[in-house]
A = this chain, B = another copy of it.
């Protein structure tokens, strides 16, 4: 299966977007700063999310990304499928031709497992996630924490801003 940090980053970024979208489009550099993911990596992920129709983009100052649908209608599984391609656990990608054009011994087991995971992740929407108390607390910390940890001017911009971009 594919459940790597790629999918986790994507879900985290989308959740950050939902939490901050009341003030218009959310820029990737803001998400990068808050969630400590590299901006260029986010760009790749959001390119896929946009192609899948999950988000819409606005260019220029004040621009950023916004959800194409209500947070209630976006499930975690949609996000993971958009960036990770598949959630399938079989060797044959479900085709059941794992061995001489027939099923391998454990084909059904991996198929069942895939369905389990699929159903679990399909049952959780961004709206539900954003409403959780534990997540609200962490988001509040992230929104107010930068000043606390990095006193005034010395924020390690390397982590969140583009470096070495020439004019």
Residues on A close to B: CB < 8 A? 1, 3-5, 8, 11-12, 15-16, 35-36, 76, 89, 91, 99-100, 102-106, 108-110, 112-113, 116-117, 120-121, 124, 129, 132, 134-135, 138-139, 141-142, 145, 149
Q: Pick from A35, A99, A105, A112 the residue with the most CB of B within 10 Å.
A: A105
**How far is A86 from B71 in the complex, measured between Cα atoms in Å?**
32
Interface of A is mostly: helix
- Measured CB to CB, the nearest residue on chain B to A3 is B1
A120 cross-chain contacts in B, Cβ below 8 A:
112-113, 116
Whether A8 contacts B99 in the complex (CB less than 8 A), given A104-B138, A105-B142, A138-B105, comes out as no
CB pair A35 B104 closer than 8 Å: yes
CB pair B1 A105 closer than 8 Å: no
**How far is A112 from B15 in the complex, measured between Cα atoms in Å?**
17
CB pair A129 B113 closer than 8 Å: no
CB pair B149 A100 closer than 8 Å: yes
Whether A117 contacts B124 in the complex (CB less than 8 A), given A91-B5, A100-B149, comes out as no
CB pair B36 A99 closer than 8 Å: yes
CB pair B105 A135 closer than 8 Å: yes
A141 cross-chain contacts in B, Cβ below 8 A:
102
Q: Which of B15, B116, B138, B149 contacts A103 (CB 8 A)?
A: B138
**How far is A113 from B77 in the complex, measured between Cα atoms in Å?**
12
The smallest C-beta distance from A103 to any residue of chain B, in angstroms, reads 6
